[in-house]
Amino acid sequence: MSARATTRPGGRSARVQQSVHQAVRDLEAEVGRDALTVPLIAARAGVTPSTVYRRWGDLRELLSDVAVERLRPDGPPADHGSLRADLEAWAVQFAEEMASTVGRTYIRDALLGDPEQGNAVRCSDYAAEQLKAIGVRAAGRGEGVPDVETLMDVLVAPLMYRILFRPSDLSEAYTDWLVASALGRGAAPSAAKS
Amino acid sequence: MSARATTRPGGRSARVQQSVHQAVRDLEAEVGRDALTVPLIAARAGVTPSTVYRRWGDLRELLSDVAVERLRPDGPPADHGSLRADLEAWAVQFAEEMASTVGRTYIRDALLGDPEQGNAVRCSDYAAEQLKAIGVRAAGRGEGVPDVETLMDVLVAPLMYRILFRPSDLSEAYTDWLVASALGRGAAPSAAKS
């Protein structure tokens, strides 16, 4: 995300962001992605095109900003009673969401409209925050917890890499195995390049 | 890569590909990336713009195709006498090349101009082929070898994930640790998000 898109909640800037994002989502559903233009979006949002250009730079950067908002988790990860169960459930859901057609589109949008990588970092931080929350909960139960950067390497990175570069069967057996690896045990099944 | 860009070596099609790729590389150096257009590239390559459009679709797909060619390894990975030494040396070089400004640009180009993911898969296959070659050599020495998909998960995925999503210090200590993890031993240092 460019510095232009920073907002204070509740201010005019936040209202503009909200209405422009909403316009993108609505128009994407109505006319399709390929028909989106800045003037069309601005008209629907009730702002001038120059407001959009000034704030987001161009259509690609705007789509990247919208994508990152959509990739933001809705709430804290579900509590299944143990670190392993929480990580397994989180990994299944993460893999499903990110590997879906919509998820892939958002990931690409987030990466590609973002020459300074701020949006990609936000996506990565969303995952890290969820894993941190799972870890804090596990530590509260007295469980030993791998550090977050290790979880990013062992659990998140292979899923995102396979989604972007290496079409694979991201089955529950595979995500369970990643979790087992992250927890320091488990022998590898073949990692399922499809 | 789209099916349009398939070539037989030595034929007219291969010559067109070579001259268009060369024109992209030369013009990128001379006028800069942002000034590249299909008509400019076609004129330099001595072909018509419609030849370029017919074969590559648009500028972005052409840049994606050029990027993948540049990411193709020059030859087999160097032989350092053991699986561990070969993997460590390969990982250092891979991290350096991919994390460089030029490498990042190629990765983004490869991903971006590639709605069908063919170019991303080619990039991933280049890495897999290099790791396979290292494994075959190691097996010839009588060493036990992790399977290639495990190496992709444990070694390649974290490097690519951090380059794209999570700016990190991809130090030799870090790549050595990834190799140690892939070989089934080694305690994790903190994975160095910078």
Taking residues A16-36, report their average pLDDT.
Answer: 93
- Of the pLDDT bands very low, low, confident and very high (cuts 50, 70, 90), residue A187 is very low
pLDDT in tens, A78-117: 999 999 999 999 999 999 999 998 899 899 888 887 767 7
Q: Inform me whether the pLDDT recorded for B84 exceeds 80.
A: yes
- Of the pLDDT bands very low, low, confident and very high (cuts 50, 70, 90), residue A9 is low
Cα–Cα dist B152/B94, whole Å: 12
**Residue-level pLDDT at B8:** 61
C-beta atoms of B152 and A161 within 8 A: yes
Measured between beta carbons, the chain B residues lying within 8 angstroms of A117 are: 164-165, 167
Local structure of B168: helix, strand or coil: strand
**Residue-level pLDDT at B189:** 39
A9-13, A74-78, B80-84, B127-131: segment of lowest average pLDDT: A9-13
- Tell me the nearest-neighbour CA distance from B55 into chain A, angstroms: 22
Selected for mutation to probe chain B from A71, A114, A166 (highest B CB count within 10 Å) is A166
- Tell me the nearest-neighbour CA distance from A12 into chain B, angstroms: 30
**Residue-level pLDDT at A34:** 87
Cα–Cα dist A4/A6, whole Å: 6
Q: Inform me whether the pLDDT recorded for A6 exceeds 70.
A: no
Mean pLDDT across chain A, nearest whole number? 88
**Residue-level pLDDT at B7:** 55
**Residue-level pLDDT at B115:** 67
**Residue-level pLDDT at B112:** 81
Taking residues B170-180, report their average pLDDT.
Answer: 93
Local structure of A59: helix, strand or coil: helix
C-beta atoms of A121 and B167 within 8 A: yes
A39-48, B98-107, B177-186: segment of lowest average pLDDT: B177-186
Per-residue HEC secondary structure of A33-94 comes to: HHHCCHHHHHHHHCCCHHHHHHHHCCHHHHHHHHHHHHHCCCCCCCCCCCHHHHHHHHHHHH
**Residue-level pLDDT at B127:** 96
C-beta atoms of B121 and A161 within 8 A: no
- The DSSP-derived string for A147-182 is -HHHHIIIIIHHHHHHHHHS-B---HHHHHHHHHHH
Instruction: Scan for tokens 């008209």, then name that residue.
Output: A43
CB B113 within 8 A of CB B61: yes
Structure token digits, residue B130: 């290099």
Taking residues B39-65, report their average pLDDT.
Answer: 94
List, in order, residues 6 or more apart from A87 with CB less than 8 Å away: A131, A134, A151, A155, A179, A182, A183
Complex ipTM: 0.85
Closest chain B residue to the Cα of A128, Cα to Cα:
B166
- Tell me the nearest-neighbour CA distance from B165 into chain A, angstroms: 5
Residues of A with CB under 8 A from a CB of B: 108, 111-112, 117, 120-121, 123-124, 146-147, 149-150, 152-154, 156-158, 160-162, 164-167, 178, 188, 190-193
Domains and CATH numbers, chain B: 3-57 (1.10.10.60), 72-182 (1.10.357.10)
C-beta atoms of A165 and B120 within 8 A: yes
**Residue-level pLDDT at B6:** 53
Q: Inform me whether the pLDDT recorded for A174 exceeds 90.
A: yes
pLDDT in tens, B103-161: 998 898 888 877 677 899 999 999 999 999 999 999 999 999 999 999 999 999 999 99
**In terms of pLDDT, which residue wins out, A53 or A190?**
A53
**In terms of pLDDT, which residue wins out, A85 or B2?**
A85
Measured between beta carbons, the chain B residues lying within 8 angstroms of A121 are: 165-167
